Amino acid sequence: MLKPTEQAPTFTASTITLCFATKTLFLEKEEEAVESVETIELVRPGQIIATLASDHNTPATATQSINNGVLIPGPNTQFSATGDSLLATIAGYPQITKKQNGNEGETVIIAVTPLVATSPNQMEASLTLYPPLPKRSPLQVDELAELLEQAGIRYGLNREILLSCLERSTAEQNIITDTLIAKGSQPIAGLDAQLRFEVEIGSIPGKIMGNGKIDFHERKMFISVRKGQLIATKVPATAGTPGTNVLGDPLSQPQGQDLTVSAVDNAAYDVESGEIRAVKPGVLSVVKNTIKVSSKLTIPGDINFSTGNIEANDAVDIGGSILPGFQVNAHGDLKINGGVRSATVVSQGNILIQEGVSGKQTTIRVTGDIDIPFVEQATITAGGTIIIRRQAYYSRIFAGGDILCQEESKVIGGITMAGGNLNLGHVGSDNAVPALIAAGTDGKQYLRYEALLQEIMEKEEELEHALQLYGHNSQLPFHLTMTEELEEMNSDLHKMNLATEKKTDTPEERAKRLRSRTITVHGQIFADTQIRIGNVTLLLETTMAARKFCLSEDLQKIIPLSL
Per-residue pLDDT for 354 more than 90? yes
Asked whether the beta carbons of 534 and 499 are under 8 A apart, the reply is: yes
- Of the two residues 349 and 36, the one the predictor is more confident about is 349
Answer CATH for 385-441+502-563 from 2.60.40.10, 3.20.20.70, 2.160.20.70, 3.40.50.300: 2.160.20.70
Beta bridge partners of 157: 182
- List the one residue out of 346, 391, 343, 385 whose CA is nearest residue 368: 385
Q: What pLDDT sits at residue 290?
A: 92
- For 284-319, write each residue's pLDDT tens digit: 999 988 999 999 999 999 999 999 999 998 999 999
Q: What pLDDT sits at residue 57?
A: 47
> Rounded to an integer, what distance in angstroms lies between the CA atom of residue 428 and that of residue 545?
12
- For 358-401, write each residue's pLDDT tens digit: 999 999 999 999 999 999 999 999 999 999 999 999 999 999 99
Around Cβ 507, how many Cβ atoms within 10 Å?
7
SS3 341: strand
Give the pLDDT mean for 57-71: 55
> Rounded to an integer, what distance in angstroms lies between the CA atom of residue 546 and that of residue 519?
11
> Rounded to an integer, what distance in angstroms lies between the CA atom of residue 370 and that of residue 562?
29
Q: What pLDDT sits at residue 56?
A: 46
Average pLDDT score over the chain: 88
- For 150-205, write each residue's pLDDT tens digit: 999 999 999 999 999 999 988 888 899 999 999 999 999 999 999 999 988 876 66
Per-residue pLDDT for 235 more than 80? yes
Least confident of 4-18, 184-198, 493-507: 4-18
Query: Which residue type, as a one-letter code, is found at position 7?
Result: Q
> Rounded to an integer, what distance in angstroms lies between the CA atom of residue 109 and that of residue 99?
8
Q: What pLDDT sits at residue 206?
A: 64
Q: What pLDDT sits at residue 207?
A: 66
> Rounded to an integer, what distance in angstroms lies between the CA atom of residue 559 and that of residue 28?
57
- Classify 152 in phi/psi space as left (phi over 0), alpha (psi -120 to 50) or beta: left
Predicted confidence band of residue 8 (pLDDT cuts 50, 70, 90): very low
Asked whether the beta carbons of 342 and 322 are under 8 A apart, the reply is: no
Q: Which residues contact 508 (CB under 8 A, 6 or more apart)?
A: none
Per-residue pLDDT for 6 more than 50? no
- Of the two residues 159 and 66, the one the predictor is more confident about is 159
Per-residue pLDDT for 209 more than 80? no
- For 76-128, write each residue's pLDDT tens digit: 999 998 888 999 999 999 999 888 766 666 788 999 999 999 999 999 999 99
Least confident of 125-134, 220-229, 498-507: 498-507
Q: What pLDDT sits at residue 62?
A: 40
Predicted confidence band of residue 5 (pLDDT cuts 50, 70, 90): very low
Give the pLDDT mean for 464-489: 75
Q: How does DSSP classify residue 504?
A: T
